[in-house]
């Protein structure tokens, strides 16, 4: 096994590289001295110096080495994370006209996205919009293995979803504490933009806590200038330690170099809830919130400079029981500063129903604390996708066949083939792409099968078919 190179700090290497380049060139406008004449006998012996230009050459060589170490540091991060990144292919219905259709394959039958392995036992994090409307989901690992995936659950409010494949001992990617990530630090994005698997882009963490995009109900994004394109969705944004800072989710179309990712702190919370119950049961305190803008802070007597302004209070909600009123400004929760409404919403989401949270509140210039018992919002679950329909809803594999005359045989002969007579909508056969009229050349390795052979082969819930169509021959796997 080859030893892994240590990850070198890019923050140290970049200044060194730039400094080396600066030494490699003469200062602008500085005269180059003419060669001196031979010293007179009375003159002291000349001081031994290195050959002309050797100092600049040495500096240039050092700067090249620094740049190589800089590149090696990026490559080491990719070597560490890439095995945890997966390519996701979805089969969707036609006619998709949603604003996110570019991330789902433009309304066509097939679309490509990305994902990251969350746990070694086959759980995979991705975006909800990558798999929304999916009739079948296929996951391709870095080592080339391909699996059908089932949908554990999804949360449209945060645009996250959790898949599971039947595999073990997978290289799960560690999730970072995105709250402590520093704006301006280097980041690396890995994904499958436009279906180009395992594409790597680099940039910096441009901002944290971005909201107001208007796409999802819960918006608290990391912003990066690392190139993000359709197909990157669901892939990881990682730091230089190879930890996932966020799940890449969208680009801002009206600008360049503005990509957004769901923070790892939120992604971890959603994944935990989906693994536990299959859905996200969001908590609330029963208030309407808005940011305390400078204009509002100036207009409200003795208001603090930052906070979440309460504009409504549900009569029967937790906040009403805790004596919160419209006009109150929440400045912290559990000791953590609240800069705006999103800070409060995000922190509440990270706690379970029944927990008590302490709020610091400013009311008319006076500060006080109150405890609020969180309650569930009891939101309805998202609609069931075709891929979530259980196998028990479909008889067999959803495939009916019959023995038919072989259209390839000479006239007058009685050769037969197995022809697909029907495919049930959203059945395993349908999700595998089998179509009525297909001719089955081979079933589980048996060539020239009969309809009885196909029926017998379906009993174990799996089929490997070699199919002939008018202009193509292909293999497909049907899996219950």
What are the domain boundaries of the chain? 82-164, 178-276, 283-376, 389-479
pLDDT at position 53, please? 58
| 423 pLDDT more than 60 | yes
**Among this protein's residues, is 233 annotated catalytic?**
yes
Q: Shortest CA distance to 160 belongs to which of 206, 113, 205?
A: 113
Domain 283-376, second-level architecture: Roll (2.30)
User: 11 or 448, which is more confident?
Assistant: 448
- Which of the two residues, 23 and 141, has the higher pLDDT score? 141
Same fold? 82-164, 178-276: yes
What is the DSSP pairing of strand 356-363 with strand 366-373? antiparallel
Non-local (6+) Cβ contacts of 164 within 8 A are 122, 123, 124, 149, 150, 152
Residue 432 has a pLDDT of 82
Report field, pTM of the whole predicted structure over 0.85: no
**What are 272-314's pLDDT values in tens digits?**
999 999 999 899 999 999 999 999 999 998 999 999 999 999 9
pLDDT of res. 471: 85
| Record: fold of 389-479 | Pdz3 Domain (2.30.42)
Give the architecture-level CATH label for domain 178-276.
Beta Barrel (2.40)
Who wins on pLDDT, 194 or 204? 204
From the candidates 63, 66, 114, 129, which is the catalytic residue?
129
Q: Could you report the per-residue pLDDT of 375-410, keeping only the tens digit for each? A: 998 888 999 888 886 543 445 788 889 988 877 766
Q: Which residues have a Cβ under 8 Å from the Cβ of 42 and sit 6 or more positions away?
A: none
- From the CB of residue 1, how many other CB atoms can be counted at a distance below 10 Å? 3
* Residue of 192, 206, 233, 332 marked active site: 233
Query: 82-164, what's its fold?
Result: Thrombin, subunit H (2.40.10)
Q: Which of 66, 132, 155, 159 is catalytic?
A: 159
pLDDT in tens, 212-267: 777 887 888 999 999 988 889 999 999 999 999 999 998 886 667 889 999 999 99
State residue 353's pLDDT score.
93
């Amino acid at each position: 096994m080859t030893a892994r190179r240590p990850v070198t700090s890019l923050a140290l290497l970049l200044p060194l590289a730039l400094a080396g380049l600066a030494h490699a060139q003469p200062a602008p406008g500085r005269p180059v001295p003419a060669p001196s004449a031979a010293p007179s006998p009375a003159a002291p012996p000349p001081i031994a110096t290195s050959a002309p230009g050797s100092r600049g050459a040495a500096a240039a060589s050092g700067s090249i080495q620094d740049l190589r170490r800089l590149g090696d540091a990026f490559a080491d991060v990719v070597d560490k994370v890439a095995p945890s990144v997966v390519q996701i292919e979805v089969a969707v219905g036609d006619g998709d006209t949603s604003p996110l259709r570019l991330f789902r394959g433009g309304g066509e039958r097939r679309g490509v996205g990305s994902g990251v392995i969350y746990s070694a036992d086959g759980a995979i994090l991705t975006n909800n919009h990558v798999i929304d409307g999916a009739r079948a989901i296929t996951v391709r690992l870095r080592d080339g293995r391909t699996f059908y995936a089932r949908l554990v659950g999804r949360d449209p409010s945060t645009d996250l979803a959790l898949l599971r494949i039947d595999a073990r001992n997978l290289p799960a990617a560690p999730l970072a504490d995105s709250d402590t990530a520093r704006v301006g630090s280097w980041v690396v994005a890995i994904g499958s933009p436009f279906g180009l698997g395992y594409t790597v882009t680099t940039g910096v963490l441009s901002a944290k806590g971005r909201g107001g995009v208007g796409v999802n109900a819960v918006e608290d994004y990391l912003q990066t200038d690392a190139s993000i394109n359709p197909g990157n969705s669901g892939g990881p944004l990682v730091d230089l330690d190879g930890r996932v800072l966020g799940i890449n989710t969208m680009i801002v179309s009206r600008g360049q170099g503005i990509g957004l990712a769901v923070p790892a702190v939120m992604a971890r919370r959603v994944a935990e809830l989906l693994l536990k119950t299959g859905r996200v049961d969001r908590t609330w305190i029963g208030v309407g919130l808005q940011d305390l803008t400078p204009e509002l802070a100036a207009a409200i007597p003795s208001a603090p400079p930052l906070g979440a302004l309460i504009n409504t209070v549900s009569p029967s909600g937790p906040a009403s029981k805790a004596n919160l009123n419209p006009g109150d400004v929440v400045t912290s929760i559990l000791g953590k500063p609240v800069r705006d409404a999103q800070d409060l919403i995000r922190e509440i989401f990270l706690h379970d129903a029944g927990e008590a949270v302490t709020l610091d509140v400013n009311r008319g210039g006076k500060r006080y604390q109150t405890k609020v018992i969180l309650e569930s919002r009891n939101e309805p679950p998202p609609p069931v996708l075709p891929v979530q329909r259980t196998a028990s809803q479909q008889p067999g594999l959803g495939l009916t066949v019959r023995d038919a005359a072989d259209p390839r045989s000479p006239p007058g002969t009685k050769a037969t083939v197995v022809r697909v007579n029907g495919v049930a909508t959203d059945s395993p056969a349908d999700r595998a792409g089998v179509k009525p009229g297909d001719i089955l050349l081979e079933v589980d390795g048996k060539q020239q099968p009969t309809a009885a052979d196909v029926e017998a082969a379906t009993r174990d819930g799996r089929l490997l078919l070699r199919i002939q169509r008018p202009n193509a021959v292909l293999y497909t796997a049907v899996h219950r």
